[in-house]
Amino acid sequence: MRFENCTDAEAKGGKYRAATSGFGILHASCTGVRIDDATIGNTGSAQGVFAEGTPSTKVLVRRNKVDNDTAFTRNTGDIHEFNEYATKRQNARGKTAGNIADGGTIAHGCVNTPYRVAVFSVGSNATDIVKISAVDATNITVTIKQPGGTAGSAAPIMWEADS
């Protein structure tokens, strides 16, 4: 499907299969594009939602499913949320299965490097402070410190990430 030079375009629900372009849904030069609850398949390594040419404005892309792990094109100001890829997600959260020590990592499973991450210790030492020290395409690295700066106790960590 292609939206071009339009206002208030909407693809809500439905199944979209890649055509010769390899992309599921294309948009360009539009104002107000909303792509919700679509299932996008047969894209190979191409993007399920692709912004081509002149960027569209007021773009909302949410709750879509695509059969690969190639992130959708995202321009400044676009809102992309709750999209599901073959093995990754737009937004993810969880609790570590085991204890994480100071300097430990948590695999977030997001399709892009997250722009927002939050971590919370659910350990028994209430004075330990958990902070994010690094975030990359695969992991969240945390520090667990006592108020004096020494390493805190290893603990399960609850986390959230948006990419």
Per-residue model confidence as pLDDT tens digits over 78-113: 999 999 999 999 999 999 989 999 999 999 999 999
Given this model, what pLDDT does residue 154 score? 93
Given this model, what pLDDT does residue 58 score? 95
Q: Is the pLDDT confidence value at 44 over 70? A: yes
Q: How far apart are CA 158 and CA 95, in angstroms?
A: 4
Q: How far apart are CA 19 and CA 139, in angstroms?
A: 34
Q: Is residue 138 part of a domain?
A: yes
Domain end position, chosen among 59, 81, 103? 81
Given this model, what pLDDT does residue 46 score? 87
Q: Which residues lie closer than 8 Å to 114 by C-beta, 6 or more apart?
A: 108, 135, 140, 161, 162, 163
Q: pLDDT above 90 covers what percent of the chain? A: 74
Domain end position, chosen among 46, 81, 116? 81
Q: Is the pLDDT confidence value at 123 over 80? A: no
Averaged over 62-91, what is the pLDDT? Answer: 94
Q: Does 68 share its domain with 97?
A: no
Q: Does 20 share its domain with 38?
A: yes
Domain end position, chosen among 58, 81, 104? 81
Q: Which residues pair with 155 in a beta bridge?
A: 100
Q: Give the residue numbers spanning the domain of 109.
A: 91-162
Task: Tally the domains of the chain.
Answer: 2
Q: Does 54 share its domain with 22?
A: yes
Q: Does 115 share its domain with 148?
A: yes
b/e burial code for range 95-120 (CB count within 10 A of at least 16 → b): ebeeebebebebebebbeebeebebe
Q: Is the pLDDT confidence value at 19 over 80? A: no
Q: Does 7 share its domain with 74?
A: yes
Q: Does 12 share its domain with 67?
A: yes
Given this model, what pLDDT does residue 21 score? 64
Q: Does 73 share its domain with 96?
A: no
Band of pLDDT at residue 126, cut at 50, 70 and 90: confident
Q: Does 46 share its domain with 110?
A: no
Q: Does 103 share its domain with 46?
A: no
Q: Is residue 86 part of a domain?
A: no
Band of pLDDT at residue 20, cut at 50, 70 and 90: low
Q: How far apart are CA 52 and CA 12, in angstroms?
A: 20
